[in-house]
Homo-oligomer: A and B are copies of this chain.
Amino acid sequence: MAVGPDTLPELKPVEGFRIGVASAGIKKPGRRDVVLMELCEGASVAGVFTKNAFCAAPVTLSKKHLAAGPVRYLLVNTGNANAGTGEKGMADAIRCCDAVAAKTGVDREAVLPFSTGVIGEPLPVDKIVSALDAAKADLNEENWLNAAHGIMTTDTRAKAACEQFEYQGKTVTLTGISKGAGMIMPNMATMLGYVATDAAVEQSQLQQWLSEAADRSFNRITIDGDTSTNDSCILVATGRSGVQVAADNVELSELFVSALNRIMLTLAQAIVRDGEGATKFVEVRVEQAASVDEALQVAYTIAHSPLVKTALYASDPNWGRILACVGRAGVENLDLDALEIYLNDVCIVEKGGRAVSYTEEQGQKVMDGEEILIHVVLKRGDVRESVWTTDLSTEYVHINADYRS
């Protein structure tokens, strides 16, 4: 199950960005498991990738190809992560790129490969290659929703978002999709994200804005603290809207960056909402911290605590467990008597203990909701950071004890 309504906005096409979806039968016959994306000539591409030292072969290859020069195709397969596959894995990823290159007349380096699914099994290259003709024949700009379905693995729902803004009579569109569920945590864990815009943005600027947006979205979500070997997020700017966005145009770049941040946050939060076995969607917000580091330290200690997460699952306003997390987060010289902790707007901890005004009924009312804010006020500075997470349910254990990911 997932948290919140399963509705998607209309996904506007992005001119210059076509998508084809096909079925290679990698895990299940008939399942859409291969997605090919085609970028128009002249498109800029930026990417952020997993920081896991054991990054998968396709991640290594995508980074290399992205650095090498113009990208024209993104190839995604589900069902197999091509991770932990050694030299053969790299050869297999290259074979996939070569096959796309041969069928489309571009160089191998113009193809970025992405794989998600089981780790350590050989990539079924022949199956993937045999689906390329169908994926190519399917290429069209209206295919975002199919693509959102085509990149799903243990996801229970498709994830997509769309933003538009007007500038001097022209419309700029940003459309994106993501997948995740399980092994989600900062540094781009087991998740894929693809966002395209018809704005024109120079490559290094695009990379900077993507990195900043990812730090505030995909790198602020956590389900179980694990980081995958394959996570990647790609941002493509086709330029076809005719609107050129550059940092020296402050008004326009603010419009663009805020739309980018919104779409990235929506895509990242959609992954949390669909976290494995999730029944709650939880923001952990740490305010009045002395630094970003200490704010995140406290936020992640709470967000990763199995005891807090099981209490959330039980809708139990167990403020003692939250307080214990703040205490062990490693913040130097924490003033226990000054800090405050809230559930939504209900103060649960002040002066080093349970808030005098607090009643169990108030806490219970907050915890009975599906969307919960755990709000810690450290009273040490003016930094504020949020991370988003889920509860820990028996369903989570069932899924991960049964699924060979």
Contacts and interface: CB of A to CB of B under 8 A. Distances in A.
Nearest to A397: B394
Interface in A305-341: 305-307, 310-311, 313-314, 316, 318-321, 323-328, 331, 334, 336
A307 B119 contact: no
A261 interface: no
A238 to B, nearest CB: 34
A357 to B, nearest CB: 14
B89 A54 contact: no
A51 B89 contact: no
A124 interface: no
A389 interface: no
Contacts of A398: 394
A392 interface: yes
Contact of A53 (B118, B334, B405): B334
B306 A54 contact: no
Given A84-B320, A404-B318, A352 B307 contact: no
A183 B404 CA distance: 28
Given A319-B120, A352-B86, A400 B54 contact: no
Contacts of A319: 84, 120
How many copies of this kind of chain does the complex include?
2
Given A328-B52, A336-B54, A353 B86 contact: yes
B306 A225 contact: yes
B54 A323 contact: yes
A89 B351 CA distance: 12
Nearest to A349: B84
A352 B119 CA distance: 12
B328 A405 contact: no
Contacts of A392: 306, 397
A307 B405 contact: yes
Contacts of A244: none
Given A118-B320, A314-B401, A397-B394, A328 B224 contact: no
B324 A226 contact: yes
**Candidate in A81, A85, A120, A401 with the most chain B CB atoms within 10 angstroms:** A401
A273 interface: no
A243 interface: no
B51 A351 contact: no
**Candidate in A89, A118, A183 with the most chain B CB atoms within 10 angstroms:** A183
Contacts of A405: 307, 318, 320-321
| Leading 10 A-B pairs by shortest Cβ distance | A119-B320, A54-B327, A86-B353, A314-B401, A310-B400, A224-B306, A52-B327, A53-B327, A227-B328, A394-B394
7 contacts: A53-B331, A54-B323, A118-B320, A187-B328, A226-B305, A306-B396, A318-B405
